[in-house]
Homo-oligomer: A and B are copies of this chain.
Amino acid sequence: MERYRMVFSGSGGQGVITAAIILAEAAVLYENLMAVQSQSYGPEARGGATRSDVVISDTEVHYPKVIQPNLLVCLTQEAYNQFYPIIRPGGLLITDTRFVKTQKKVDALQKELPMYETTMEKIGKSIVFNICMLGAVIGLTDLVRSNSVIKVLQNRIPSGFLDINREALNLGIELGAKVKS
């Protein structure tokens, strides 16, 4: 497989770190892959964009930081402004239509998806926005099976919340699969 070097970025409360950890666990526990997931916080973390890195591969990952992601997700304008320059040429850039206006030219496949709007319209709870985003990533990349994510969610989430998480994941997968080229 291609090695996936991903950066999920957004603001503090949007759950990008949680999404990254869920993806890493799904890959490792149920897909026989290896993964490293990390957060680097420097001075820019104070009042800036939150960033979470995940590397997934079928061989061992030695260097855990992502320098040039081949998949970059930006859920806020600030995250987009800060991180769009690091995308790997030919990579995939996913932004949320509600929160990000993409203006820059990047040498990447750009997908603007209404993840937040769809989450709010169909479920009405912003708390699963990050899971919808994770679904979109999976829908576009087929990196792991949705069922592997569901299994991780089952271990992590109180059973009363599982349904809206599953629904958010499926909404995201549909959004991603629909625009897959």
- A residues lining the B interface (CB < 8 Å): 12-13, 17, 21, 24-25, 27-29, 34-43, 45-46, 60-61, 64-65, 155
Cα distance, A27 to B39, chains bound together (Å): 13
Copies in the complex: 2
- Knowing A65-B64, A155-B13 touch, does A39 contact B38 (C-beta < 8 A)? yes
Q: Which of B27, B28, B36, B45 has a CB less than 8 Å from the CB of A38? A: B36
User: Within 8 Å CB of A38, what residues of B?
Assistant: 36-39, 64
Contacts of A34 in B (CB 8 A): 41-43
Beta-carbon contact of B45 and A40 below 8 Å = no
Q: Which of B28, B41, B43, B61 contacts A45 (CB 8 A)?
A: B28
Partner of A64, one of B17, B29, B43, B64: B64
Chain B residue numbers with a CB within 8 Å of A35 are: 39-41
Q: Which A-B residue pairs are the 4 nearest by beta carbons?
A: A38-B38, A28-B41, A35-B41, A37-B39
Q: How far is the CB of A103 from chain B (nearest CB, A)?
A: 30
Contacts of A17 in B (CB 8 A): 21
The reply to whether B39 and A36 form a contact with Cβ atoms under 8 Å apart is yes
Say how far A85's CB is from chain B's closest CB, in angstroms.
20
